[in-house]
Chains A and B, each alone.
Chain A
Amino acid sequence: MISQDPTVDNTDVYLFRDAADPSKVNIVANYIPLQDPASGPNFFRFGDDALYEIHVDNDGDVVQDITYQFRFRTTIVNPNTFLYNTGQITAPHDGNQNIRQSYSIRKITHQGSTLLADDVISPPVNVGFRSTPDYEAKIAEPSIHPMAGGGQVFAGQREEPFFVDVGSAFDLLGLRPLNPAHLIPSDAAPGVDGLAGKNVNSIVMQLPIAEVLAPGASAACHTAGSTQNDKSCVFGVYASSSRQRVRTLAQDGGAPRASGRWTQVSRLAIPLVNEVLIPLGQKDRFNSSHPKDDAQYFGPILDPEPTKLFPVLYPAAFAGNGAPNGGVPAGGFNADGSIRRGDIAAVLSGAGAGLMGDQLLPPADLVRLNVTTPATAPNQGNRLAILAGDGGGFPNGRRLVDDVVDIELRLLAGGTPFTPEYNVAPNNILTDGVDGNDRPFKNSFPYLATPNSGYNQNASDPKPL
């Protein structure tokens, strides 16, 4: 029972200021995980039957104020062939590309809905050096679409930017550099990026900051040169996907009409909340619910299972670390109802995005960015972000370089300055051993790297992309 619905699977959300243009912000929503580049003849594309959405909350009430909706449409030029392309593709949707996808963007606010763009080209996938040579220049870059009002958008295949030792992490929370300390020990080994060589489908939007902030945001949001403790300069994002509700049978006994109501089937914001903190029995409900109702999940989120597992799986290391409570902070609630993991709640409230005191926002599973924090170039920035004193990354937005796995492992174990009693080894040295992406990011929009090509997969004779 592999995830049966990859087309609508959210994989990651990134949110970062633009290094080249300080008036802009970039939002990345990735879907369709674990794409092997050599996946012909069908390859991967967005679902024509799905609604992909990026939601912005800019007034702090955890309800979206702006939603960008993406709908895709596939055209097959010659249905009598099974081929994706019948010759070399030298420009997106040229005569040789048989399976073509384009998309529309609709923006929804409290005032109403506007069609921002229609019939925008989504590029073909990176098939190989014969079908899609010189991919970035000839295929990807021409697919970047400028938007009226400023900004640009791209929707198509990219190299998978996330990096994590999937194999070990989900094998009883194995961390290869810490292998000797595990309950089932083994020799230390370097981390293995289980996502190296994979592709993903990305929606990348670059928008003017003025467009995403609330109308009443402080003027200082646009002029300040350093992080301001001002919640009007902070906005939150989550991404989702939906399918239309289907009526099994019609009421009157005739053929059921196509119904319109969209059912959300996936949503994601802060990395790994959905995958790791929400228990199995609640996953489907989580995916169909909205951040504003997340209080129902704060039980598991504020009493994280991985935290309780650390001392079980690395007994000697945690028992002997000098910290109370068996080595990790306790989760759950005190007798008076107060939360024990105030540090996690604080991060969910924007404490990691420069907010404090009365400027803290309601805790929510949203990626929140403070637009007054200076931008970082795509391949710059400390991968440990806030834990290394670099306030320009996760959980202040999320940059491509941020090592969210290591950051979260340490946060969950209490190995951070937020929880000084537990800010000791091994809590604050937890790592999966995978510190960066297998490919560098682009310095220009859409920043995610050129997708790996089908021809090159596992090849002994890889060709330039």
Chain B
Amino acid sequence: MTRTTTVVLVTLLALTVPGCARDGGVEAGGGLQATPPSLAVDPASTSPTDQDILRIQTKLSARPADPTARLELAYAFLQKARETGDPSLYTKADALLTDLAASPEGKTNPGVLVAQGTLSLARHRFEDALDLGRRAVVAAPGNASALGVVVDASNELGRYDEAVEATQAMADARPSLPALARVSYARELRGDLAGAITAMAQAVGAGAGTGENLAYAQVQLGHLLLTSGDLAAAETAYAAAARSFPGSALPDAGRARVLVAQGNPSDAADLLAGVVQQLPIAEHAIAHGEALAAAGRRSEADSAFELVRAIAKLDKANGVNTDLEMALFEADHGRPSEAVKVARTALKGRPGIYGRDALAWALFRDGKVDEASIEARKATVLGTRDPSLRFHAAVIADAKGDRQAATEHLTVVLATNPAFSAHHGPAVRSLAARLGLAAPQTPVAVVAAPVVPARPIRAG
């Protein structure tokens, strides 16, 4: 199809944008900012993303107004943000893309639109993402990347039927890793774990050799296998991911989940310390704090939870919306009334089942069982076999006195991964006992996983 290593959707943009710099960079054309934002990168770094950034920034230092290079840089920043969780990279990418979209050609360029859509998704601004994704599809019909933005945004907005249509269109256009991974997610949402595993395994099969995308899919496969109760297979998948993209924090985050499932929160916490250092996003910091708390390392847990709040502030300052994660965090570790406020805001931007779940849990923790019960029913409407979702629904149903619903939901938790959370482990046990269900057995460690924290990607 194409032999270039440059961004697929980026080429020859310069020649359709007027005012391409003629003298090596003094005059920026077409309304572009004179100096594009940049990132200090260690020149000796072996990371492919870092090398891309260096190469592009060198190009831009000679020709700052080169729109093709600027779009490439925006994509590189988005990729780097995936790897490091640094939200300031979103701000930089945003500046580049806003500039590019200011020209008539840039505004309808599919590469620009997909990048903007991807940025909006990363910042959890899903309405924006859906709009941009749709415009990208108009600009490049049948283009898989554009459809991918539509799929992701639709899912987060709770427009599940639209998401499935777009997923099918994406798979029809190009049944490759990105499409197959989304097929997996569609099945997972509807409770078909076996089908989700099949599709994610197909996605992994479709990704050649090495790379961050492949590693990401392998980690997702690991999560699905863990949720289905197969710890050994999950370990294998995480190990494969670590080989596909060495230095990534995600396989270790997966291994930490396995350790929690094995009743070893202390080792999980040590692993997560490295994960958080490399990828300081709320999800991992929360898991870190909860593992520490479950291991009885209270003061360390408190520090970890403080870090969660610091991350949330930093995200907010860079336009990243973390309301959903923070709503659950506040419900479990902070002030429930505050959690409800945050959850209501989260739901507005993310009206899917996970938004409903966060609000349900926050309401329950704030003592509003009846409202919580209504939201929990909406959260489980697709039949998702997600232990966290089902645990919340089980507890709420139990509090409402609906023993049948509570049993149904908790049975799913016990059948999937009852040790899905270091924090809720004891509550799962006690609810199982109250409902007369068999206590979850702590799985014996089938694979003696050495606890080696991920080495961050560093020069030399």
Interface residues of A (CB under 8 A from B): 1-11, 32-34, 39, 41-45, 47-49, 82, 162, 166, 170-172, 183-184, 195, 243-249, 255-256, 263, 265-266, 268, 274-275, 280-285, 287-288, 305, 309, 312
CB proximity to A under 8 Å, residues B232-290: 239-240, 243-244
Show 14 residue pairs from A and B whose CB-CB distance is below 8 angstroms, ordered by the A residue: A1-B8, A1-B9, A5-B176, A5-B208, A11-B3, A82-B240, A248-B187, A268-B1, A280-B11, A281-B139, A284-B174, A285-B141, A287-B174, A305-B12
Q: Point out the residues of chain B lying under 8 angstroms from A249, CB to CB.
A: 164, 186-187, 190, 192
B177 at the interface (CB under 8 A from A): yes
Do B1 and A10 have beta carbons less than 8 Å apart? yes
Candidates B8, B186, B207, B239; contact of A248 at CB < 8 Å = B186
Q: Point out the residues of chain A lying under 8 angstroms from B141, CB to CB.
A: 281, 285
Closest to B182 in A: A248
CB distance from B215 to the nearest CB of A (A): 11
Candidates B114, B172, B177, B187; contact of A4 at CB < 8 Å = B177
Closest to B205 in A: A49
Q: Point out the residues of chain B lying under 8 angstroms from A162, CB to CB.
A: 3
Do A3 and B8 have beta carbons less than 8 Å apart? yes
B103 at the interface (CB under 8 A from A): no
Closest to A45 in B: B208
Given known pairs A263-B172, A280-B111, the reply for A4 and B6 (CB within 8 Å) is no
Do A281 and B174 have beta carbons less than 8 Å apart? no
Complex CA distance for A6 and B24, rounded to whole angstroms: 35
Do B239 and A82 have beta carbons less than 8 Å apart? yes
CB distance from B176 to the nearest CB of A (A): 4
B143 at the interface (CB under 8 A from A): yes
User: Interface stretch among B30-38, B194-202, B308-316?
Assistant: B194-202
Complex CA distance for A73 and B262, rounded to whole angstroms: 36
B421 at the interface (CB under 8 A from A): no
How many residues on B have C-beta within 8 angstroms of the other chain's C-beta atoms? 62
Do A47 and B206 have beta carbons less than 8 Å apart? yes
Complex CA distance for A282 and B173, rounded to whole angstroms: 12
Closest to B177 in A: A4
Candidates A5, A43, A170, A195; contact of B174 at CB < 8 Å = A5
B110 at the interface (CB under 8 A from A): yes
CB proximity to A under 8 Å, residues B63-84: 63, 75
Do B180 and A4 have beta carbons less than 8 Å apart? no
B407 at the interface (CB under 8 A from A): no
Fill in one digit per residue for B125-155: 1 if any A CB lies within 8 Å of its CB, else 0.
Answer: 0000000000000011111110000000000
CB distance from B178 to the nearest CB of A (A): 6
Do B173 and A284 have beta carbons less than 8 Å apart? yes
In addition to A49-B202, A248-B183, A263-B174, 20 A-B residue pairs with Cβ atoms within 8 Å of each other are A1-B114, A3-B8, A4-B8, A7-B208, A8-B1, A9-B1, A82-B243, A166-B3, A172-B15, A243-B175, A243-B206, A245-B172, A249-B164, A249-B187, A256-B187, A265-B1, A274-B2, A280-B111, A281-B140, A285-B142
Q: Point out the residues of chain B lying under 8 angstroms from A248, CB to CB.
A: 164, 167-168, 171, 183, 186-187
Do B142 and A284 have beta carbons less than 8 Å apart? yes
Complex CA distance for A116 and B6, rounded to whole angstroms: 39
Q: Point out the residues of chain B lying under 8 angstroms from A1, CB to CB.
A: 7-9, 75, 114, 145
Complex CA distance for A276 and B168, rounded to whole angstroms: 29
B14 at the interface (CB under 8 A from A): yes
Do B6 and A170 have beta carbons less than 8 Å apart? yes
Closest to A272 in B: B3
Shortest beta-carbon contacts, A-B, top 9: A243-B175, A7-B208, A5-B176, A281-B140, A266-B1, A6-B208, A33-B3, A246-B171, A9-B1
B441 at the interface (CB under 8 A from A): no
Q: Point out the residues of chain B lying under 8 angstroms from A4, CB to CB.
A: 8, 176-178, 207, 213
Q: Point out the residues of chain A lying under 8 angstroms from B179, CB to CB.
A: 246
Do B205 and A47 have beta carbons less than 8 Å apart? yes
Complex CA distance for A263 and B173, rounded to whole angstroms: 8
Given known pairs A281-B110, A312-B15, the reply for A288 and B206 (CB within 8 Å) is no
Q: Point out the residues of chain B lying under 8 angstroms from A2, CB to CB.
A: 5, 7-8, 211
Q: Point out the residues of chain A lying under 8 angstroms from B243, CB to CB.
A: 41-42, 82
Q: Point out the residues of chain B lying under 8 angstroms from A8, CB to CB.
A: 1, 176, 206
Number of A-B contacts defined by CB within 8 Å: 159
Complex CA distance for A49 and B171, rounded to whole angstroms: 14
Do A32 and B143 have beta carbons less than 8 Å apart? no
Given known pairs A42-B244, A274-B2, the reply for A281 and B172 (CB within 8 Å) is no
Chain B facing A: main interface SS: helix
Candidates A10, A41, A265, A287; contact of B175 at CB < 8 Å = A265
Closest to A287 in B: B1
B210 at the interface (CB under 8 A from A): yes
B209 at the interface (CB under 8 A from A): yes
Given known pairs A44-B209, A82-B243, the reply for A283 and B175 (CB within 8 Å) is no
Complex CA distance for A49 and B204, rounded to whole angstroms: 11
Closest to B170 in A: A248
B348 at the interface (CB under 8 A from A): no
Q: Point out the residues of chain B lying under 8 angstroms from A312, CB to CB.
A: 15
CB distance from A270 to the nearest CB of B (A): 14
Closest to B6 in A: A170
Q: Point out the residues of chain B lying under 8 angstroms from A245, CB to CB.
A: 171-172, 175
B22 at the interface (CB under 8 A from A): yes
Of B24, B110, B208, which is in contact with the most chain A CB atoms at under 10 Å from its CB?
Answer: B208
CB distance from A276 to the nearest CB of B (A): 9
Do A280 and B110 have beta carbons less than 8 Å apart? yes
Complex CA distance for A6 and B177, rounded to whole angstroms: 11
Closest to A7 in B: B208
Complex CA distance for A35 and B174, rounded to whole angstroms: 22
Given known pairs A7-B208, A47-B208, A255-B192, the reply for A244 and B142 (CB within 8 Å) is no
Complex CA distance for A249 and B8, rounded to whole angstroms: 29
CB distance from B177 to the nearest CB of A (A): 6
Do B1 and A274 have beta carbons less than 8 Å apart? yes
Q: Point out the residues of chain B lying under 8 angstroms from A34, CB to CB.
A: 3, 5
Of A48, A172, A246, which is in contact with the most chain B CB atoms at under 10 Å from its CB?
Answer: A246
Q: Point out the residues of chain A lying under 8 angstroms from B202, CB to CB.
A: 49, 246
Closest to B180 in A: A246
Q: Point out the residues of chain B lying under 8 angstroms from A171, CB to CB.
A: 59
Q: Point out the residues of chain A lying under 8 angstroms from B199, CB to CB.
A: 246
Do B210 and A39 have beta carbons less than 8 Å apart? yes
Q: Point out the residues of chain B lying under 8 angstroms from A274, CB to CB.
A: 1-2
Candidates B164, B195, B209; contact of A255 at CB < 8 Å = B195
Candidates B11, B63, B186; contact of A184 at CB < 8 Å = B63
Q: Point out the residues of chain A lying under 8 angstroms from B12, CB to CB.
A: 305, 309
Of B6, B9, B15, B176, which is in contact with the most chain A CB atoms at under 10 Å from its CB?
Answer: B176
Closest to A41 in B: B243
CB proximity to A under 8 Å, residues B6-59: 6-9, 11-12, 14-15, 22, 24, 59
Q: Point out the residues of chain A lying under 8 angstroms from B5, CB to CB.
A: 2-3, 34
Do B3 and A281 have beta carbons less than 8 Å apart? no
CB distance from A157 to the nearest CB of B (A): 12
CB distance from B183 to the nearest CB of A (A): 5
Do A183 and B22 have beta carbons less than 8 Å apart? yes
Do A48 and B8 have beta carbons less than 8 Å apart? no
Given known pairs A82-B239, A263-B175, the reply for A288 and B3 (CB within 8 Å) is no
Do B175 and A280 have beta carbons less than 8 Å apart? no
Candidates A48, A170, A243, A246; contact of B11 at CB < 8 Å = A170
Closest to A253 in B: B190
CB distance from B243 to the nearest CB of A (A): 6
Closest to B168 in A: A248
Complex CA distance for A8 and B174, rounded to whole angstroms: 10
Q: Point out the residues of chain A lying under 8 angstroms from B211, CB to CB.
A: 2
CB distance from B407 to the nearest CB of A (A): 23
Do A246 and B1 have beta carbons less than 8 Å apart? no
Q: Point out the residues of chain A lying under 8 angstroms from B206, CB to CB.
A: 5, 7-8, 47, 49, 243
CB distance from A348 to the nearest CB of B (A): 20
Q: Point out the residues of chain B lying under 8 angstroms from A265, CB to CB.
A: 1, 174-176
CB distance from A282 to the nearest CB of B (A): 8
Complex CA distance for A34 and B4, rounded to whole angstroms: 9
Of A1, A2, A3, A82, which is in contact with the most chain B CB atoms at under 10 Å from its CB?
Answer: A1
